[in-house]
Amino acid sequence: MFDNKDKTEINDLGEFGLIAHLTKAVELTEPSTIKGIGDDAAVLDFSNKKTLISTDLLLEGIHFDLRYVPLKHLGYKAVQVNLSDIYAMNGKASQITFSIGLSSKFPLEAVEEIYEGALIACKKYNIDLIGGDTSASAQGLVISVTSIGHAEADKIAYRSGAKEGDLLCVSGDLGGAYVGLQLLEREKQIFLDNPQIQPDLEGKDYIVERQLKPEARMDVVELFEIYGIQPHAMIDVSDGLASEILHICNASKVGCKLYEDKIPIDPMTYDTAREFGLDPTVCALNGGEDYELLFTVPQEQYDKVKNQLDITIIGYITEEAAGCEMISKSGNVHPIKAQGWNAFKAGK
């Protein structure tokens, strides 16, 4: 990934030096940021809007494998994953804090790459980086991100707002990040067995990017604003469609019908899943890390969502007693079960 010859030792800079060095490229552009990095706490002004907060921990060997995740992508993804939670509330993400724990194997240049990826994500999504913590780590790389956003009270979409009769919708397509991961894992194994063989990812850009460089769906939240769509309930797809549907149904005390043939799956995801002997539907249901938005809207908004190219209606909300079920392509009915990604079973 990087060699340490001619690299700068972080020790030489010290903590304050490192922070000053890393944050010198940080610009504040969000009107709600009053004070960013450089005091005990950041100061934000959301005037009469509600404040939204979400946080994630990303740990080496659990959430990422540095043998195939480029550091810049890692910084980028760490931010995206977190912003996704703010968009999933139908909010505007505006700030993040970004903390890194670094083992001594990392030279300054490696940290710079992580940070650069994070700042590219911030710039693209108009996010101010307003704080964080930087520390040595006795073990692997640790990244902790907290994202902050805001929304008007009546715009916030909780998981618990779904109503019987609502349309169940999802943005983008599903399963790609999981299938991309299978591909990266396979190429890593081939490389470990024979380091002379270069990874063969040709023509697979889309699903590799879905895994390494996901994009949080700020654009979908903006589209809601433009078209006057108000989701009753919303969640982002981080653990797989099945798990997220159950979160909405449990929180809202409703059931649902999901149509397998409506689940949006990209042709490359489909074909590559098949190559691996995987069922593409199962990849979408249980794969995770797609960071699409799953939401429900009242039927009256059918006209507003049906023509959105990037939104698919995949089912509808029922009463709770009817349970959460998927109608398969062959017409069979299966209960939806969560087998989502489990950070306590991933890694080793």
Nearest-angstrom CA–CA distance, 313 and 81: 24
Tell me the C-alpha to C-alpha distance, in Å, between residue 76 and each of 10, 56, 73, 313. 22, 14, 5, 30
Q: Which is nearer to its own copies, 192 or 344 (CB)?
A: 344
Distance, in Å, from the CA atom of 121 to the CA atom of 330, rounded to the nearest integer, reads: 42
b/e 34-46 (16+ beta carbons within 10 angstroms → b): eebbeeeebebee
Cα 150 from Cα 135, distance rounded (Å): 29
| Residues 76-105 contacting its own copies, CB under 8 A | 84-86, 88-89, 91, 95, 97, 99-101
**Window 106-145: contact mask with its own copies (x via CB under 8 A):** ------------------------xxxxxxxxxxx-x-x-
C-beta closer to its own copies: residue 91 or 176: 91
By CB under 8 A, the residues from 181 to 240 that bind its own copies are: 234-236
What does the buried/exposed string (b/e) look like for 241-266 if buried means 16 or more CB atoms within 10 Å of the residue's CB? bbbbbbbbbeebebbbbbebeebbbb
47 is in an annotated binding site: no
As measured in angstroms, the least distance from the Cβ of 27 to its own copies is: 18
Among 80, 147, 182, 312, binds its own copies (CB under 8 A): 147
Q: Does residue 150 contact residue 32 with C-beta atoms inside 8 Å?
A: yes
Q: Distance between CA 143 and CA 270 in Å, rounded?
A: 32
What minimum distance in Å lies between the beta carbon of 303 and its own copies?
27
Contact between 159 and its own copies (CB under 8 A)?
yes
Among 28, 56, 223, 304, binds its own copies (CB under 8 A): 56
Rounding to the nearest 10 degrees, give the CA dihedral for residues 155, 160, 162, 163: -110
Q: How far is the CB of 286 from its own copies (least distance, A)?
A: 14
Q: Does 163 bind its own copies (CB under 8 A)?
A: no
CB of 234 to its own copies, least distance (A): 8
Among 22, 23, 30, 60, binds its own copies (CB under 8 A): 60
Structure tokens at 319: 């009463």
Residue with smaller CB distance to its own copies, 85 or 260 = 85
- Using DSSP, state whether 153 is helix, strand or coil: helix
Q: Tell me the closest approach of the beta carbon of residue 344 to its own copies, in angstroms.
A: 5
The single residue among 18, 129, 181, 242 that binds its own copies, judged by CB under 8 A, is 18
How far are the Cα atoms of 143, 210, 235, 242, 335 from residue 338, in angstroms, in the given order?
27, 22, 15, 5, 10
Q: Which of 137/308 has CB closer to its own copies?
A: 137
> Which residue in 8, 21, 26, 59 binds its own copies (CB under 8 A)?
59
Contact string 25-54 vs its own copies (x = CB under 8 A): ---------xx--xxxxxxxxxxx-xxxxx
271 labelled ligand-binding: no
Q: Confirm or reject binding of residue 149 to its own copies (CB under 8 A).
A: yes
Interatomic CA distance for residues 137 and 156, integer angstroms: 37
Residue 267's SS3 state is helix
Q: Which is nearer to its own copies, 89 or 285 (CB)?
A: 89
Which of 84, 281 has the CB closer to its own copies? 84
- How many C-beta neighbours within 10 Å does residue 53 have? 12
Is there binding between residue 263 and its own copies (CB under 8 A)? no
84 Cβ partners below 8 Å, 6+ apart?
A: 214, 216, 217, 236, 238, 291
Residues that constitute the known binding site: 40, 54-56, 63, 85, 115, 132-133, 159, 236, 238-239, 289, 341
**Residue numbers belonging to the annotated binding site for Mg(2+):** 40, 54-56, 85, 133, 236, 239
